[in-house]
């Protein structure tokens, strides 16, 4: 099993995160932010990842540090769980519909961090969640997981649907990319011989 446990403690957040890439989609999420709990629950379910997250953060300020630091921890967990990435498909992509919203997500576990995020929400908030924090989450994830991730809203009007579509689409793209391909399960999928 490809698993990782991340303990991250700063002056702003205290996070315990456990990830099993080869899971069944089970999750226990308590981030202190209801909307983020919802996003991480569906992320685990659609990616078929087992995910446990507990965060005590400075939510009296806002959700920024909590969201960013959980993105950091989740990205680090993927990097740790994948190790040298031997046998992985490496690339994954999907165009995912959610009602009026259509989201493209495409990932390459290249060892190089890049985020192309073009999924702006039309409102500043969904409930008490700042919609700009979705991009912050994926930026933090990309830096630590060392992947190239492109997220693009093709169409969409509802901010909740857009962000939910982003999390679902990216979970499914990641699930494809981290899958083991039996044809080259003992190989690192790069002509460089390292990722």
Mean pLDDT (whole number) for 22-40: 98
Q: Single out the residue of 5, 51, 3 nearest to residue 24, CA to CA.
A: 51
How far, CA to CA in Å, does 109 sit from each of 113, 145, 168, 193? 9, 8, 18, 14
Model pLDDT, residue 74: 98
pLDDT(190) > 90: no
Is residue 107 one of the residues assigned to a domain? yes
pLDDT band at 157 (very low <50, low <70, confident <90, very high): very high
Q: How confident is the model at residue 195 (pLDDT cuts 50, 70, 90)?
A: confident
Residue 116 lies in a domain: yes
What would the pLDDT profile of 125-142 be if each residue is shown by its tens digit? 999 999 999 999 999 999
Is pLDDT at 69 greater than 90 in this prediction? yes
Tell me the backbone φ, ψ of residue 49, rounded to 5 degrees.
-100, 140
Mean pLDDT of the chain: 97
Enclosing domain of residue 141? 3-184
pLDDT band at residue 189 using 50, 70 and 90 as cut-offs: confident
Task: Determine, yes or no, domain membership for 192.
Answer: no
Taking a C-beta distance cutoff of 8 angstroms, is the pair 15, 55 a contact?
yes
User: For residue 195, is it within any domain?
Assistant: no
Q: Give the span between the Cα atoms of 91 and 109, in whole angstroms.
A: 7
Beta strands 148-155; 91-98: pairing state: unpaired
Q: Is residue 39 part of a domain?
A: yes
CATH of the domain at 28: 3.30.230.40
CA atoms within 13 A on the CB side of 55: 32
**CA angle at 180 for the pair 175 and 186, rounded to the nearest 5°:** 150
In the chain, the number of structural domains is 1
Does a structural domain hold residue 148? yes
- Position 147 scores a pLDDT of 98
User: Per the domain annotation, does 112 fall within a domain?
Assistant: yes
Residue 193 has pLDDT above 90, yes or no: no
pLDDT digits (tens, 9 = 90+) for 98-135: 999 999 999 999 999 999 999 999 999 999 999 999 99
């Amino acid at each position: 099993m490809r698993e990782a446990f991340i303990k991250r403690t700063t002056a702003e957040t205290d996070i315990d995160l456990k990830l099993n890439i080869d899971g069944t989609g089970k999750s226990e999420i308590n981030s202190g932010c209801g909307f983020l709990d919802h996003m991480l629950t569906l992320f685990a379910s659609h990616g078929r990842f087992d995910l446990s997250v507990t965060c005590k953060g400075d939510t009296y300020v806002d959700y920024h540090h909590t969201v960013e630091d959980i993105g950091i921890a989740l990205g680090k967990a993927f990097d740790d769980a994948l190790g040298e990435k031997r046998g992985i498909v490496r690339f994954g992509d999907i165009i995912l519909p959610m009602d009026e919203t259509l989201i493209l997500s495409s990932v390459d576990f290249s060892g190089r961090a890049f985020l192309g995020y073009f999924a702006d929400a039309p409102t500043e908030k969904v409930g008490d969640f700042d919609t700009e924090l979705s991009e912050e989450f994926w930026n933090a994830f990309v830096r630590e997981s060392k992947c190239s991730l492109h997220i693009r809203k093709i169409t969409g009007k509802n901010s909740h649907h857009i962000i939910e579509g982003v999390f679902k689409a990216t979970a499914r793209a990641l699930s494809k990319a981290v899958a083991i391909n039996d044809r080259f399960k003992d190989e690192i999928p790069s002509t460089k011989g390292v990722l």
